[in-house]
Every structure is written in structure tokens, then in C-alpha cells.
Structure 1
Amino acid sequence: MVLSFIVGLLAGIVTLILKNITFTIHSLLEKGIVFTDYHLYFILPVVGLLLVYLLKKYVFRKELKPSIPSFIKRSIPSLLYSLLRQKGLISFRLIYHPLILAPLTVGFGGSVGLLGPAITSGSALSSNLGSLLRVDKKTRTLLIACATAGAMASMFKSPIAAVVFAIEVFSLDLTFASLLPLLIASISSVLTSYFFLGDEVLFNFTVSEKFYLKDTLFYIILGIGTGLASLYFTKVYFAIYAFFEKLKTKFLRLIIGGLAIGVMLYFIPPLYGEGLSFITNLLEDHTLEAIGATPFDDYIDNIWMVIVLLIGISIFKTIAMTITFTAGGVGGVIIPTMVMGSALGNAIAKMINNIGLGFHVSEANFTLIGMAGLIAGVIHAPLTAIFLIAEITGGYELFIPLMITVAMSFLITKNLLEHNIYTQELAKRGDLLTYNKDKNALLLMNLDRIIETNFIAITPEMKLGEILSEAVAKSNRNIYPVVDAQNKFLGIILLNDLRKIMFDQKLYDKITASDLLENAPAMIFYKKDTMEEIMKKFETSNAWNLPVIYEGEYHGFVSKSKLLTAYRKKLIDFSGA
């Protein structure tokens, strides 16, 4: 309980430091570099990305220990991986790396958010605090979840949504033992935010138009729209990453990414930075101020041009955000998701109000609920989306439309995309913890610990007599692997087959191993097969021992009995955690 309070306090302080550094950089750039022409703003994100690149290359060049695989690209996936494969141990350098790199990225106009870096820094603090106090893996995992809840609570002043977010993202069991520390961390973080910032809130918004039954269909339409937009968000995110991974050097990615961001900012200035001011202007019905000066100002009096620009912002925010990441920037996903959702929700409301059929909906409400729909669809966290927007509005007047839109969005995306933007890469590699304890126990198992190497190998030219004297007589196994001179696995010989001829001495020099050789019922491929796939191979083959192959060579055997014993032990350990 004490640790959860401390972690929440530290996460709150880290979040405030991150926000203040970013705001200071942004303010200094606005005051020190006066751009009379908005077109010149596209220069700043490139400068910020260049500074981040130079810091990573020349200052932060020491490898993080424990290291994070290169395929993990963002803060939340790296935390999920560390909980599974690294016992929740996070490099202490990740305490200060995000506090420097993220403000440079966002402060100079990078189109990403600050929540992800705040979570990374807070989690690294909690992990290293846990290591210092020698807590076990279970407690360290809970402390990281507490840091996540604390960072979100401090960022949005939404303590309930923060707790729900930690539970949904980290697949925590909702028990008293886990819920109470999360609540304490969230409360201490929010109190920290209130202490330093007073009652200042992210969005100063009060619901003025209530929900009416006649609006139900429109909120369903909004849910469908945000669900489809979430699919677009996820597909584009991974497609852009795949494209940039083909580029050979990080500097080349920086150049191409920086130019692409500059072009987008030239035509769509609201893509600059996090975009929180954009959301605020939409909520206050200052749409033209939110859109800002664009090359299309001559047509801005036409409401349909405004709608097109809002949809354009929604479409290109995803692209600008992902390119900022691939060009080397450091930031988070959730706030850009909210920006995209707010633009889409506002655009749909304007279409409904101006279609000429006499309908009217609240544009501010649609702006808010559009954010919830995108959050639910992109990160598959429907409860977080509902409670976050409900707390931002300071009440629960919009609870019913929130539930309608979020349910539709989540239904669409969950059925078409099993995993969200955080977990897709981890799931492909079998590195994802879920609410399924059976699967989690399998994920946590270590194949190296159950591979047996005391099987006597036989070469294909060995004669029966030699097999009996060199293998059968010296082994208590009933199966013998057959390998060639390069240790390539060729097959197996079973003791049951040898019993039929082992006492006929006339055959000792006539029959060779190649005559007795048969294929293994299945093979386990080391570092390729997941534990779940290995379990299925035993189930379908009905075998008690299966050979392990690594890069084409024989590596040992795994027995079903040893596998099940290790599984039962891990399941007991996991259930008790």
C-alpha cells in the first residue's frame, strides 16, 4: 500500500515534469522564433526530430539493460514484453530518456502525445524502486500497473479511467489485492496534479445538451464511423512502419519522414504538436480557429469545405503520428487518437446538421464521444474510453451515448482485428499475456528447462549389433534419434521395433539403422514453435517424446510428462500471483 502511494506520487511528478518541459519548449519557440507566415512552421518538427536523432546516436548510445527487441516500437508494448520476458525489469535509463526525447519531439511540433513517455518513465521508476527493495515479480508487475494508472490520472485528472486503463491494458485480475493499490496510486497522482496545477483541467467542458432518445441512431452511426476509422488507424500504422523498415538507415528515415511531415503541416497546420488545443477549440465551437490558416482559406465559408478539412485532419493525423514515430520521434498514441476522434465526431455532427433533413445533434457531444469511439477501437479498451470521457466532462450525462458509440466501435474492431495496436506485434510472436491463465502459463514456460539431451544418437550406417551395444545397453530410453555426420535429424528408432530382432544374432551385421529408421510423429522447432503449438503437437500426434530441431540440427527431446509437470507448476505459480 505504501509503495503504491509512492509510485503514484512519482508517476504524477514525472508526468508534470514532462508536460512542463514540453510547454516551456513550445512557448520559447513561439516567443523566440516569430513566424509571420504559418507555412514556416513545418521546419520545427524536422529540427526536433534531428535533435532526438543526435541525442540517441551520440549521447544515449549505451544499450538499454535489459534490452528491448527492435520489433517493439512503442512504450506500452515494451512494458508488456518486459512483464512477460524480463520479470518486469526495466532499464533505469528509461526514467530520463523519455523526459528529454519526448519534449523535444512534441515541443517542436511532432504529431504525437505525451502519455506514452509518461507511462514509460513512471514504470521505469517503479520497476527500479521495486528492484532496490527486492520485491518479487508479482509486486513489481503491480507497481508498473500503478505507475501507468498514476501517469494517466495525472495527465487527464481522471482517476477512475486511469485504474480501468491499467486493468484493461495489463490484463490484471480485478481482485481486492490489485484494485486497492491501483486506486491508491491513482489518487496520490491526482492529488499531486492538483497540488501543482490547482483545479486546472485538460478540457474545460460542461455538457449543455443532454442525450435524447431520438439521437440514438446518430450515435450508432458515429460508432460505426469510429469503428471503421479505428481499422484505418491500425492498418495505416503498421503499413507505414513496414515501409520505413525497408529504409536502410535511421538518418534516411529521418530525412524522408521529416519531409513528409513538413508537407502535411504545410497543408494541414492543426497536425502540429499534440493537438490538445485543436480539441479545445472544437469543444468551444471555434471550428475555424481549430482548423487555422490553410491554403483553402478562400473556401472556408462553405460548411462542406470545413467538413472536408476536419475529415482530412482525421485521416492525416494517423499518418503524421506514425511518420513521427518512424522518423525517430518519441511519444504516445492515445492523445493523437483523441485528436482524430474529435475531428471525425465533429465532422459527422456537422454532416447530420447540414444535410438538409432538419436533424440536429450536439457538435460538442459528438466531438467528445468521437474521441471515446476511437480510443475503444484503437486500443480495445472500451471501459477506459467511457470513463475517461465521462470524467473529462465532469459528469455522467453522456453515459448512454458513450456506451452506444463505444460498443459499436469496439464490436467492429474486435471482430475484424483480434489484437489492438499495442498487442498485435507481441501476439504474432507469442509474447502476449491475456486474461486466459492457461495461455499465460504456457507463455511463461521456458522450453530450455524441459529439453532433455541424454538420448543416445545413432548414425544411419550403424549396424544392429552396434546399436544394441552402444545405444540400447547404455540407455534407459525407448527411443533413439538418428542423425548424420552434420547432426542433421533424420528420424527415430523405437525400442519396440528393436525387440523383435534384437536376439537374432544373424541380423547383427545385416541390418543397419537406416533399415529401421522411421519418421518422428512430429517435430518441435526451437525458437519458432510457441508452447501452445508444442502442446497441440503432442495432442495431435499422441506421442510421449518429440525431437527438438534447431536450425535443421538435432537438439534433444521434450517428453510429454515433463512438459505437463512444468505446465502444472507454472499454472499454480501464475494463479497464485
Structure 2
Amino acid sequence: MGLQQLKHRFTVRLMKVNQWRMNKISNQNFIIVLAVIVGIFGGIAASILKGMTHFIARTLQDDIDWHYKYSIYLIFPLIGILLSVLYVRKFLKGKKLEHGITPIIYAISRKSSRIPSHNIFSQIITSAITVGFGGSSGLEAPIALSGSAIGSNTARFFGLQYKEVTMLLACGAAAGISGAFNSPLAGMVFAIEILLPEFSIPIFIPLLISAAVAAVISRILYAEPLFHAATSDWEMGALLFYVLLALVVGAYTIYFAKISTTIKKLFGKIRNPYTKVWVSGISLGLMIFLFPTLYGEGYIAIQNILDGKFDAIVKNSLFAEYKDIGIVVLAYTVLTLFTKSFAALFTLNGGGNGGVFGPSLVMGGLLGFAFSYGVNLTGMVELNVPNFTMAGMAGALSGIMHAPLTGIFLIAEITGGYTLMVPLMIVASISYLINRSVLKHSIYTKVLAESGDLLSYENKDRTVLSMMKIRYVLEKNFVVLAPKETPEMRKSAIIHSKRNIFPIVDADGKFLSMIYSEQLFSILLGEVEGKDQAFELLGQKPKDFICISENMEIVMAKMNKDDVWILPVLDKEGHYLGFVSKASVFNKYRSLLMRQGSYLS
């Protein structure tokens, strides 16, 4: 039996199963079933990713004397990024591997929530290699993208519509975050806040189920907690210092967003992917040599701070002999903080896989530690350093991602610091407001907003137009006239045409002009001269034309400017492709508006 026959049989059986399912199970109940399945596989994926990453890191670091690690650290990150690039180029065969949360948002906005299935495993493999070998990025964005791919492809496998595909994509992302942090509430809030900014109450149930199931599966397969902290209640006297910390964190998130854009542009000028590997790998190795805390995710340093081991950040560095000098610890922490931003961005832009989700937590934690530790050095007050460290983590995540609720609930959940809810809320909200006042879009949505690919609820008309492609509204059922032909020669075609406009196109397919049916009928009825005149003499130039590569906002602007209802569409070389009319645009707009309005209902 051939492959095509097997594929056909499988398709037929799947259709029968789907038909039975639609007759026996309501769509709402079926979504719940799929949410459980997505949660299971999302939890498994998160456990595999954490297990692989930590296995690689332990294998590389165990039984190696520390003095030798200085030189080895120069090599490990380079090897990890190189292996990631080789995997993409050799195994994905031309398929693109994207990183971060941005591809998920783009898929919802422009790709009908479809995420290529290879992301299910490719994100796990490449990010485990990158971070396990010392790449200074996080695992949370890759697992969110992997989970989203699980949800998206599960929904497509059962032939569900855009509304359900988007729902399960969000369930997959929630499951991934929940499994990575063992924090179901934060996973659900992340999906709502980042992926589904306009939502209704019914979506809570599938998201909660997926996130909860993933947390259970992850805890069964990989029970090691991300952080453990013995939190104590916050004091009213420290309230002003939490506000000051929020101001500092908010300013830092703006700095990080701007430096992210700069580094991305610099790496964008390097065309050869292997040159990027060398530049990022060697630079990262040198940074880790000077600041060992930058190796991998960096969560160990944060845990040491939460445990009260404030000198641990200096202990294994070249400055270890000064670990008992407070001002050295503070200065070294600040240097590590700013170097972390470069290390994370070099890792991601150089070809490694990961995200800024994890680095945001680490940078926020270091900033919270440096702030409180520095204040304590003055001897004027005594702040609770672990509490400020956790508040800094929430603030950085809130500002960089524009996700204050995610920052609050994630830190409260993974550290058990629910007693810190008020400080977390203060720092996260102020940091978010500061960043938002300067930067309208988050680090995830800035690129999409600039390209017009962001699904925005503040301007629905523009958003829906941006979702349209000209090829979807292109009309081609027009009678094409040759420049040397005459109305008499094409009399029959003109009379029987259902359109009132006729393009005049030369032998090479180049658009020359057009002519309306009213003029042609007047000629054929003898009301005016021209039966034997060539169309190239009778035609008239359109007021404007549309290039196939233009977006729909430009198209509508051209139509409104000249008050026309139809315009010809040409390619870059001027070849005729068809026409776009306002009627076709409005019909497509109405269908997209209905789809957009229902996808979260």
C-alpha cells in the first residue's frame, strides 16, 4: 500500500471520527477534552525541556575544577549556539525557527493561529542546547511557543475553526508556562494578558484546565521547584522604598527595550549566520568569564540571594577574595545586571534559542537585590533583601512584557510569597506604567506594530484591514482586451461580459489602460465613432493603481483619495493581475470582523 493511499485512508477515518464527534459531543465539551490533552502534552514538553537543559548543564559542570572552568566558559556558549544553528540549517531544511513570544502573537494576528508543527520539538531541542551550554537566555518563551504549537496543531488536526484554534493555542501557551514554573494561575494569566487581550469569561475554563493539568504532569515528571523562599510579611515602613524600587525598575525596563532594538539592528547587518555564531559565542564566553552568574538561566544566583547568601554572586568570580566587602558586592552586582542584558540579547540574536522571559526575572531580581542591599549598606534602614528581590522580579517582568498581572501572580506563585501581594502589585503596576508612558508597545509587540501585523483592539478598523491580503480580494473575471483589437472585433465578448470595466493588456501582460462598458456600448450602438479604432487609442489611464505588495490601508487610502470604487492591481513589473473593488474589500472586512469578534466569545 502506497503512502498516498495510507494518507487517504487516514483522512477518511479522521473525517468519520470528526463526524461522529460533532453528532455526539457538543463543541464546548470537546474543547474541554482537547484542553486536557493539550495540558498533558504541554506538561510533558515542559518537563522534557527542563530535564534536558539541566542534564546538559550538570554534565558540563560536574567534576570540573573551578579554575579550569574559566577557560571552558569561553567555549561552551559558542558550542551551544553553533549546535542550535546547525540543527536549524541541517534538520529543518529551510524552515524558519523563530524565538520569543512574538511569533505566537503574529500567528494569532496574521496566520489564523497556525504555528508550524516542528516548533513542538524544535523549540525544546534548540533551547535546551542553547541554555544548557551556557546561553544566557530563558526557557519560558520556547516552552510557550512549543505549547502553542501543540494547541494549534491539535485544533487543526480535528478541523476546528479559527475561534477554537486560537483558544487551544492559548491553552498550549498557558500549559507551557504552567509546566515550566509549576504555576497554573500564572500560566492562565499569561495567556490572557499577552495572547488574548480581549476576552470573555468562558475562556477561563479551558485555560485553567490546561494550566492545571500541565502543572500536575510537570510536578510528577520533574518535581524540582524553580525557587523556594521563606518569605516574611512586608512592613509599612518599607512602602516608600518599594515605590522607589518601582521607579528604578521601570527606568531599567525602558533601557532594556532600547538596547534590545539596537543589538538586533547590529546583528541584522551580519548576513552570514556562522559569523553571528562566532561574534555572539565569543562575546558571551568573555562575559561569562568575567561574570559567571550569566551562565545559563541565572536562577541559581537569584536562589542564593533568596537564601540570604548575598556574597554568592561574587564568590566564584575573579573578585572572590573581596566577597566580604559590601561595596564590592554591590558594584559587582550592578555590573552583572547590565552585562546580563547584553548576554541575553547576544545569545538570542546570535542564533541561540530562548527568550527574554527568564532574563527579565533574573535582571529584576538582581536589581531588587542591588537596590535593597545598597540601601542597607547606608546603615539608615534595614530592608528585607529577599522581599525586594522578588518585587524586582515582578516589576521587570511587568515592564518589559507589559504584563503586570503575569508578573504579580508568577512571582507570588513560584516563591510562595503571597504575603507580598501588595508590594508586588505596587512595583509591578508602577514599572508597567513608567514603561508604557515611554514605549507604547512591549518588547514582544513592537516589531509587529511597526509592520502593521499586530492585532490591536484600540483600532479595530485598522487591525481588520491589516489582516487582509490583496490576493484574498483580487477579482480576475474581467475580459482582457489587446491594444490592437477593436470594439467590432471583440463585440461578442463585450456584450456578454458581466463586468463593466475592461483592462487593456499587451502581449507581455503589461497593463496599458482600461475602458468602461458605457463607452463601448455607445460605440457599438453607433452613438459615437470608434468601432474600428484600436483599444490602445480608446482606453484611458486609471486614476491610480495598486501594487500587489501594498497593504490594505494604502489601498483604501488611494480609493478614498480619488473617490473611486475599483482600481487595477499590478505586480512590481507592471503586469496586470486583476482588480480590487471596494465591494470585495467590504465583504472581506465584514467576514474578518465577524471572525475577530467571535474568536473569544
The TM-score range, normalised by the shorter chain, is 0.7 to 0.9
Q: Residue type matched to 2:140 in 1?
A: L
Q: What secondary structure does 2:577 align onto? A: strand
CA RMSD of aligned residues (A): 3.3
Contact 2:348 2:355 in 1 (8 A): no
Pairing 1:208–2:232 present = yes
Q: Distance in 2 between matches of 1:310 and 1:344?
A: 8
Q: Distance in 2 between matches of 1:57 and 1:501?
A: 62
Q: Residue type matched to 1:123 in 2?
A: S
Q: What secondary structure does 1:397 align onto? A: helix
Q: Distance in 1 between matches of 2:489 and 2:565?
A: 22
Q: Residue type matched to 2:571 in 1?
A: Y
What is residue 20 of structure 1 aligned with on the other side?
A: 51
Q: Residue type matched to 2:475 in 1?
A: E
Q: Distance in 2 between matches of 1:513 and 1:246?
A: 47
Q: Distance in 1 between matches of 2:377 and 2:265?
A: 40
Alignment of 1:80-159 (within 5 A): 80-159=105-184
Pairing 1:229–2:261 present = no
Q: Residue type matched to 1:243 in 2?
A: L
Using the TM superposition, name which of 41-50 and 128-137 deviates more.
128-137
Q: Deviations over 1:360-413 (max 9, x none)?
A: 433222211111111112111111111112223424332222222222222232
Using the TM superposition, name which of 421-430 and 280-289 deviates more.
421-430
- Structure 1 residue 576, shift from structure 2 partner: 2.8
- Structure 1 residue 488, shift from structure 2 partner: 5.2
Alignment of 1:148-227 (within 5 A): 148-171=173-196, 173-197=198-222, 200-212=224-236, 214-227=237-250
Q: Residue type matched to 1:328 in 2?
A: G
What is residue 307 of structure 1 aligned with on the other side?
A: 330
Unaligned stretches of 5+ in structure 1?
A: none
Using the TM superposition, name which of 304-313 and 125-134 deviates more.
125-134
1:275 to 298, 305, 308: 298
Q: Distance in 2 between matches of 1:99 and 1:105?
A: 10
- Structure 1 residue 164, shift from structure 2 partner: 0.8
Q: Distance in 2 between matches of 1:566 and 1:153?
A: 37
Q: Residue type matched to 1:571 in 2?
A: L
What is residue 362 of structure 1 aligned with on the other side?
A: 384
- Structure 1 residue 159, shift from structure 2 partner: 1.5
Unaligned stretches of 5+ in structure 2?
A: 1-31
Q: Distance in 1 between matches of 2:598 and 2:295?
A: 48
1:5 to 36, 61, 67: 36
Using the TM superposition, name which of 420-429 and 21-30 deviates more.
420-429
Q: What secondary structure does 1:248 align onto? A: coil
Q: Residue type matched to 2:428 in 1?
A: V
**Aligned pairs, how many?**
564
Q: Distance in 2 between matches of 1:492 and 1:425?
A: 39
- Cα distance change, pair 426–289 in 1 and its aligned pair in 2 (3 A): same
Pairing 1:404–2:426 present = yes
Q: Deviations over 1:273-330 (max 9, x none)?
A: 1001011112223222023333344655543333222222221112111211223212
- Cα distance change, pair 547–408 in 1 and its aligned pair in 2 (3 A): farther
Q: Distance in 1 between matches of 2:165 and 2:179?
A: 21
- Structure 1 residue 15, shift from structure 2 partner: 0.9
Alignment of 1:411-490 (within 5 A): 411-435=433-457, 438-455=461-478, 477-479=499-501
Q: Residue type matched to 2:555 in 1?
A: I
Contact 2:82 2:277 in 1 (8 A): yes
Q: Distance in 2 between matches of 1:301 and 1:131?
A: 58
TM-score, scaled relative to structure 1: 0.87
Q: What secondary structure does 2:570 align onto? A: strand
Pairing 1:342–2:373 present = no
Q: Deviations over 1:219-250 (max 9, x none)?
A: 33322322222222222223222222322322
Contact 2:504 2:535 in 1 (8 A): no
Q: Distance in 1 between matches of 2:318 and 2:512?
A: 69
What is residue 45 of structure 1 aligned with on the other side?
A: 77
- Structure 1 residue 185, shift from structure 2 partner: 0.9
- Cα distance change, pair 304–535 in 1 and its aligned pair in 2 (3 A): farther
What fraction of aligned residue pairs are identical, expressed as a percent? Answer: 35
Q: What secondary structure does 1:411 align onto? A: helix
Using the TM superposition, name which of 372-381 and 478-487 deviates more.
478-487
Q: Distance in 1 between matches of 2:232 and 2:215?
A: 26
Q: Distance in 2 between matches of 1:557 and 1:410?
A: 46
Pairing 1:572–2:594 present = yes
What is residue 15 of structure 2 aligned with on the other side?
A: none
